[in-house]
Amino acid sequence: MLQGESGIPRVLVQNNKSVFIFFALVFILSIPFWVLDFINPVELLPRLPISALAAFVPALAACILVYKNNRFGGVLQLLQKSFDLKRISNKKWYLAIILINPAIAILAYWLMRASGKFLPNPASLKLAVVPMFIVFVIAALGEEIGWFGYATEQLQSTWKILPIGILIGVVWAIWHFISLLQAHRSMEWIAGWSLGTISLRVIMVWIYAQSGRSVFGIALFHAMINLCWQLFPINGSYYDPFVFGLITLGVAVIIVAIQQFQNKRMVQAT
C-alpha cells in the first residue's frame, strides 16, 4: 500500500479527504431546498418545513462521488445497500434498532410528568402510523445511504466509533440548523436538540459496526427517531429537546463505556 509523507497509507488519506468533500457537497446541494422554503414556507408535517425534502441530498452527494471513481456500477452497489437486511445475521439487533428510541421517548415522558410538567396522554396508535413510518424509512434511506453507506464506511478504516459518531453527528446537526430555524425553533431548542442528535449518531455508529454494517438497519433506527417525535404529544409539540438530549447522551455514554470495557478485555485476553 502506498504511503503518504506522514507515513499514513495514501488510500486512507484519500478516504478521509473524500468524506469532507462529501460533507461540503451535501451543504451545497441543500441550498435549493432551503431557498425553496423561503419562497414557499409550507409544512410537510407539523413543524416539518418543506426544506426537509433535502433528506435525499446525502444519497445524491454520495452517488455523485461514487460515480466519479466507479461509474454506474459503483452507484448501483451503493444503492443496493438500501436492501442489505441480510447483513444483520443476529436478529436480536433488531430489538436495539426498534426499541431504543421508544424507550428514550417513554422515559422522557415519565420524567417530564414526574417533574410536574403537564403532558397530555399519548394518543392511541392508528393505522395512519404505518404509511407515515414507511415515508420516514424512505426519507431515512435518502440520508443514510450517504451518512453511513458512504461517509461512515470511508472513515471506519482509520477512525473509531466515538470520533466517527461525534464528527458525523456534528455535521448532521449543523446541516439541520437552517431547516430548524425555518420551522421557527429557538436557539435554546436547537442547542438541546443538537445534544441529542450528536448522541444519537454515536449510538447509530455503534449499532452499525456491531450488527453487520446494514444501511437499511440504520434507516429503520432513523425512522424510529422521527416516528417517536411525531407520536409524542401532540404531534411532537410537547417534545422537550433537553430532556430527550440528556437521556440520549446517557445511553451513548453507557454504550461507549461498555465498548471500552469489551475492548480492554479483548486486549487483556490476547
* pLDDT value at residue 136: 95
Total residue length of the chain: 270
Sign, CA torsion 193/194/197/199: negative
* pLDDT value at residue 195: 97
* pLDDT value at residue 7: 38
Residues 6+ apart with CB under 8 A from 9: 1, 2, 3
pLDDT in tens, 167-200: 999 999 999 999 999 988 999 999 999 999 999 9
pLDDT in tens, 220-261: 999 999 999 999 998 888 999 999 999 999 999 999 998 888
DSSP state of 124: P
* pLDDT value at residue 12: 45
C-alpha cell at 87: 447483513
Question: Cα(133)–Cα(103) distance, rounded to whole angstroms?
Answer: 17
Mean pLDDT to the nearest integer, 17-34 = 95
* pLDDT value at residue 233: 92
Mean pLDDT to the nearest integer, 37-42 = 86
* pLDDT value at residue 14: 59
Q: Would the pTM of this model clear 0.85, i.e. be above it?
A: yes
Mean pLDDT to the nearest integer, 14-36 = 92
* pLDDT value at residue 168: 97
For cell 445511553, name the residue: 251
Residues 6+ apart with CB under 8 A from 150: 19, 22, 58, 61, 62, 65, 66, 78
* pLDDT value at residue 46: 72
* pLDDT value at residue 15: 65
Sign, CA torsion 59/170/215/209: positive
| Residue 266 clears pLDDT 80, i.e. is over it | no
